[in-house]
Amino acid sequence: MQTNHDQGCATASRRGLFVTYLVPTEPERSASGIYRRQRMLTEAMAQTCDEIDILYFVQPHESNPDLRSPARVAELLFGDFSGTLHVEICDRMAPRRASSVWYSYLRPTTGLCRMPGYESFAGRAQVAAFERALARRPDFVLVHRLMCMPPVLRASPPLPPLFLDLDDVEHIAFARSIAHPPRWPGRNLLYLHLPALCLGEMAALRRAHKVFVCSTTDQTRMRRLFRTGKVEVLENALPLPEPGPPGPEPQLLFLGNFGYRPNAQAAEYMLEAIWPLVYSRVPQATLILAGPDPQRVRHHANPPPGVNFPGFVADLDALYRSAAVVVCPVRAGSGTRVKLIEAAGYAKAIVSTTLGAEGLGLRDGDDAILRDEPAAFAQACVDLLIDPLRARGLGLRARETASTRFDRKRAIARLAAWLTGAHASGHRASREYSRPPASA
């Protein structure tokens, strides 16, 4: 399925290929961190290219007509891009039913392309779609996340310069997810999948010109583990809003997409281990858990006293203005939390776990409070709720950090420069890339 979406551009001189499995169709989706980062990628490509090919891997049996329409996919990803857009939509393979120990736990240990999720991108149809996109001779390829790499690893033609936005370091996120509920017999066998995931990341690095991660923390990890200089930092970044004072009421705010399991787990941890301690000391306090899919949180149907689940909130300005403290009790996942960059932009006092603030450069006691034990986390919230001046100072220092580290225009300009450099090298570089390793 394909289309030409030509909006009057002159003869093309630079062509890029964007490979993704995500297209934002609703406001609540486009507001989440993964789609905000995706917009940084597409804006950089729009600045760099005259022609853009899009290869979109859609869910099998997807019924949303927007996600089956090449013209609509082009519009959702690239908006009013003034050049030529060519879209191919390819169904992923239907997921295999894990009906035995072999398929659930042992077969995924034999390679990234046999792991759940990744396998649906690794079939003949998906590889053929990628090879058709290569036949259009893009000057570079930008792959959105490791999930889309299996067809790249299995493709036969040599590649032009390829950029992979890894975003999360997947083997770290996967290992952390295993350590948290839900538990079931055999769950620890999932640790057997980690070598295949690491080898898949290594294979992706071998084929890539550059790989992007969210923070210097992740860059250091990847460079040490894989002994490569290809890993570059592309920070999550946002247009910074006008800062506001702490909300007039003792209100805590946790903002996130609760369809993302680490956020749902963080909300449950907050409600079960932290909120009772805060509420017992500040009984007039309220806790707002805002974001799509709140039904994924165990306590949604019967929230504790003082807790409110408003769902997706379109007016973020009003939501942040009412908050005295923004909390991030996240204990799993990888990458960086866009919600904290946003909170810092609003000059809000932040209380987070160490992992929740990972990679953001927020300093404990200076521009955020970082606590990992429930009692200490709760006490930090109480201290800020009863001391608005301290909360104000903490938020202003967080804002200063955000303004120097997370400039969106600068991040997009850096990515555009990398893509332009790849175009300058032309297809000469494509002849230097090796065939995919047999282990993929």
pLDDT band at 435 (very low <50, low <70, confident <90, very high): very low
Which tokens is 66 given? 């927007």
| Helices first, then strands: H and E counts in the chain | 16, 14
Question: What is the DSSP secondary-structure string of 53-115?
Answer: EEEEEEPTT---GGGG-HHHHHHHHHTT-SSEEEEEEEEPPPPPP--SHIIIIIGGGG-GGGS
Q: Please indicate, yes or no, if residue 437 is contained in any of the structural domains.
A: no
Angle, to 10 degrees, between the axis of helix 194-207 and the axis of helix 170-178? 170
Q: How many domains does the structure of the chain reveal?
A: 2
Which residue bears the tokens 């084929």? 207
Q: How far is CA 5 from the centre of its chain?
A: 27
Which tokens is 385 given? 């709720």
Which residue bears the tokens 């860059």? 219
Q: In whole numbers, what is the pLDDT of the chain averaged over residues?
A: 90
> pLDDT at residue 2 above 60?
no
384 and 424 housed in the same domain: no
Question: Residue 424: what pLDDT?
Answer: 60
Question: Residue 10: what pLDDT?
Answer: 37
Q: What is the mean pLDDT of residues 14-28?
A: 91
H/E stretch holding 255: strand 251-255
Closest CA to 370 of 383, 382, 354: 354
Angle, to 10 degrees, between the axis of helix 338-345 and the axis of helix 33-48? 80
232 and 306 housed in the same domain: no
The whole-angstrom separation of Cα 342 and Cα 320 is: 9
Q: Please indicate, yes or no, if residue 243 is contained in any of the structural domains.
A: no
**Which amino acid is residue 198, in one-letter code?**
C
Q: What is the mean pLDDT of residues 220-247?
A: 89
126 and 101 housed in the same domain: yes
Q: Please indicate, yes or no, if residue 246 is contained in any of the structural domains.
A: no
Range of the domain at 362: 251-405
Backbone angles phi, psi at 12, to 5 degrees: -70, 140
The model's pLDDT over 321-365, given as tens digits with 9 standing for 90+, comes to 999 999 999 998 878 888 899 999 999 999 999 999 998 989 999
Per the model's pLDDT, the better-predicted residue between 5 and 335 turns out to be 335
pLDDT band at 440 (very low <50, low <70, confident <90, very high): low
Q: Find all residues with CB under 8 Å of 336, minimum gap 6, and list them.
A: 214, 215, 235, 236, 358, 359, 360
Q: Please indicate, yes or no, if residue 439 is contained in any of the structural domains.
A: no
The model's pLDDT over 37-88, given as tens digits with 9 standing for 90+, comes to 999 999 999 999 999 999 999 999 999 999 999 999 999 999 999 999 999 9
> pLDDT at residue 99 above 80?
no
Q: Which residues pair with 142 in a beta bridge?
A: 18, 163
Q: Please indicate, yes or no, if residue 194 is contained in any of the structural domains.
A: yes
Q: What is the mean pLDDT of residues 190-194?
A: 94
Percent of the chain beyond pLDDT 70? Answer: 92
Question: Residue 239: what pLDDT?
Answer: 85
88 and 210 housed in the same domain: yes
Closest CA to 47 of 83, 3, 18: 83
CB 238 within 8 A of CB 277: no
**Which amino acid is residue 31, in one-letter code?**
A
332 and 421 housed in the same domain: no
Closest CA to 235 of 156, 167, 327: 167
Q: What is the mean pLDDT of residues 247-270?
A: 93
Q: Please indicate, yes or no, if residue 329 is contained in any of the structural domains.
A: yes
CB 177 within 8 A of CB 197: no
Q: What is the mean pLDDT of residues 202-211?
A: 96
Question: Residue 123: what pLDDT?
Answer: 96
The whole-angstrom separation of Cα 364 and Cα 103 is: 44
Q: What is the CATH number of the domain that holds 61?
A: 3.40.50.2000
For 404-410, the CB contacts below 8 A with 24+ separation are 405/235, 405/360, 405/361, 406/235, 406/236, 406/237, 406/238, 406/240, 406/341, 406/344, 406/345, 407/237, 408/40, 408/237, 408/238, 408/239, 410/237
The whole-angstrom separation of Cα 276 and Cα 16 is: 52
The model's pLDDT over 102-150, given as tens digits with 9 standing for 90+, comes to 888 899 999 999 999 999 999 999 999 999 999 999 999 999 999 999 9
Q: Please indicate, yes or no, if residue 244 is contained in any of the structural domains.
A: no
Per the model's pLDDT, the better-predicted residue between 30 and 73 turns out to be 73
> pLDDT at residue 433 above 50?
no
Which residue bears the tokens 């290809």? 230
267 and 225 housed in the same domain: no
15 and 66 housed in the same domain: yes
> pLDDT at residue 436 above 60?
no
72 and 6 housed in the same domain: yes
pLDDT band at 281 (very low <50, low <70, confident <90, very high): very high
The model's pLDDT over 146-165, given as tens digits with 9 standing for 90+, comes to 999 999 999 988 999 999 99
The whole-angstrom separation of Cα 34 and Cα 39 is: 9
422 and 322 housed in the same domain: no
The model's pLDDT over 379-413, given as tens digits with 9 standing for 90+, comes to 999 999 999 999 999 999 999 999 888 889 999 99
The model's pLDDT over 210-223, given as tens digits with 9 standing for 90+, comes to 999 999 999 999 99
22 and 164 housed in the same domain: yes
Closest CA to 144 of 248, 17, 242, 1: 17
Percent of the chain beyond pLDDT 90? Answer: 75
CB 332 within 8 A of CB 268: no
13 and 104 housed in the same domain: yes
**Which amino acid is residue 349, in one-letter code?**
A
Q: Please indicate, yes or no, if residue 11 is contained in any of the structural domains.
A: yes
Which residue bears the tokens 């570059």? 232
Neighbours of 297 (CB within 10 A): 22
The whole-angstrom separation of Cα 22 and Cα 77 is: 9
201 and 58 housed in the same domain: yes
